[in-house]
């Protein structure tokens, strides 16, 4: 049976570290990290996420503001709101919750955020810095995956990492992070996606398999090499009449069969999920530290 990688515990450790460092930043520099959330529309999942993120900010001693804007908000109004936060010295991080309503151009919005305040790491400037291996604000979920591995004593150096999924939020950035010639990375990376036809042909070659396809339990135990490490990024809600409320969360990996062949595996929920918020706090602290005036 695979060892369970406990994302809740590791995320709690990081949150505690951020809280301590925040106290230090306040004492030594008089700076309180500030994070602005912008939520456009009424996507229920987004409302829950933004609520959780705001609560996490309060717990570590950050200042945070949440701007809720109606579904009918124009692109121009949203861009003006971002410009206001870009110019606000009390705000060090800006997060526009995705997805945005269809009439708003996501690319324009992400490019409007000051790269120094881009705590999601989605601005093309920061994406470029990540690709060329410079220090930058990195997307939270992929950065959290690297932390999960390292804090579980799993060094990805020299390992064959297979990433299933090529999204801009997870697949592409985690591939770039682990590809870097740097401590905690230096992996051989393969990205596989829907264009491959036979997913298992590639996933079976993984020493470390990162599943980020967004399809419930698509990866079964027989698609995993014996002893591999499995990181499941999937958060899929499926119908289950036996569950409370009639639905439950499952990953992209079929946990039951996968945990019999893997050496270590992240559960859903309680694996990668909690790391995203922990790394958002870490990024915001980093952004605030970088923006703090020097004497
Ligand atoms: N929607 C789903 N994941 C994310 C994320 O990491 N950041 C933002 N801003 N929106 C998201």
CATH at 77: 3.40.50.10860
> Which ligand 1 atom is nearest residue 96's CA?
9
Q: 258: buried, middle or exposed (CB in 10 Å: 19+, 13-18, 0-12)?
A: buried
Q: How far is the CA of 97 from the centre of ligand 1 (A)?
A: 5
Mutate which of 110, 122, 165, 169 to test ligand 1's pocket (most atoms within 8 Å of Cβ)?
A: 169
Q: How far is the CA of 262 from the centre of ligand 1 (A)?
A: 29
SS3 48: helix
Give me the CATH number covering residue 232.
3.40.50.720
Same-domain status, 169 and 108: no
Per residue in 124-141, pLDDT (tens digit) is 999 999 999 999 999 999
CA distance 11 to 4: 15
Please check whether residue 158 lies inside any domain of the structure: yes
Catalytic residue, chosen from 114, 118, 120, 252, is 120
Same-domain status, 77 and 160: no
The answer to whether 169 touches 175, Cβ cutoff 8 Å, is no
Q: What is the DSSP string of 181-213?
A: SSTT---EEEEE-GGGS-HHHHHTT-SEEEE-S
CA distance 186 to 169: 21
SS3 169: coil
Lining ligand 1 with CB less than 6 A are 95-98, 120, 140-141, 169, 276
pTM for this structure? 0.97
Domain count, the chain: 2
Burial string for 206-244 (b: 16+ CB within 10 Å, else e) reads bbbbbbbbeebbbbebebbbeebbbbbbbbbeeeeeeee
Per residue in 51-105, pLDDT (tens digit) is 999 999 999 999 999 999 999 999 999 999 999 999 999 999 999 999 999 999 9
Residue 53 annotated as catalytic:
yes
220: its two tokens: 């079964």
Nearest residue by C-alpha to atom 1 in ligand 1: 98
Same-domain status, 99 and 159: no
Quote the domain boundaries for residue 33: 29-115
Per residue in 263-289, pLDDT (tens digit) is 999 999 999 999 999 999 999 999 999
CA distance 171 to 100: 20
Please check whether residue 185 lies inside any domain of the structure: yes
194: its two tokens: 């829907």
Same-domain status, 231 and 263: yes
Please check whether residue 96 lies inside any domain of the structure: yes
> Which ligand 1 atom is nearest residue 95's CA?
9
Same-domain status, 105 and 146: no
When pLDDT is averaged across residues 167-185 and rounded to a whole number, the result is: 98
Query: What pLDDT shows up at residue 287?
Result: 98
Average pLDDT score, the chain? 97
Domain end residue (candidates: 65, 82, 115): 115
Please check whether residue 154 lies inside any domain of the structure: yes
* Angle at which helices 124-132 and 171-179 cross, to 10°: 30
Residue 268 makes CB contacts below 8 A (sequence gap 6+) with 232, 234, 235, 249, 250, 251, 253, 255
Query: What pLDDT shows up at residue 295?
Result: 63
Please check whether residue 207 lies inside any domain of the structure: yes
Q: How far is the CA of 161 from the centre of ligand 1 (A)?
A: 23
């Amino acid at each position: 049976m695979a060892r369970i990688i406990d994302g809740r515990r590791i995320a709690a450790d990081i949150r505690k570290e951020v809280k301590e460092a925040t106290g230090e930043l306040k004492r030594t520099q008089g700076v309180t990290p500030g994070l602005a959330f912008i939520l456009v529309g009424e996507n229920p999942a987004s409302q829950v996420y933004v609520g959780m993120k705001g609560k996490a900010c309060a717990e570590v001693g950050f200042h945070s503001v949440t701007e809720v804007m109606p579904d009918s908000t124009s692109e121009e109004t949203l861009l003006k709101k971002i410009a206001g936060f870009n110019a606000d010295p009390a705000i060090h991080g800006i997060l526009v919750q995705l997805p945005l309503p269809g009439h708003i151009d996501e690319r324009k919005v992400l490019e409007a955020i000051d790269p120094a305040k881009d705590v999601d790491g989605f601005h093309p400037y920061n994406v470029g810095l990540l690709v060329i291996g410079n220090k930058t604000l990195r997307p939270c979920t992929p950065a959290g995956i690297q932390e999960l591995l390292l804090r579980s004593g799993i060094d990805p150096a020299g390992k064959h990492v297979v990433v299933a999924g090529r999204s801009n939020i997870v697949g592409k950035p985690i591939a770039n992070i682990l590809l870097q010639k740097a401590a905690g990375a230096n992996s051989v990376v393969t990205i596989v996606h829907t264009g491959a036809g036979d997913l298992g042909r590639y996933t079976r070659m993984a020493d470390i398999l990162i599943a980020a396809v967004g399809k419930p339990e698509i990866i079964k135990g027989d698609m995993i090499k014996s002893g591999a490490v499995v990181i499941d990024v999937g958060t899929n809600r499926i119908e289950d009449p036996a569950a409370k409320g009639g639905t439950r969360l499952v990953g992209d990996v079929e946990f039951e069969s996968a945990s019999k062949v893997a050496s270590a595996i992240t559960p859903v929920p309680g694996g990668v999920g909690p790391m995203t918020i922990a790394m958002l706090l870490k990024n915001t602290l980093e952004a605030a530290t970088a923006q703090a005036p020097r004497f």
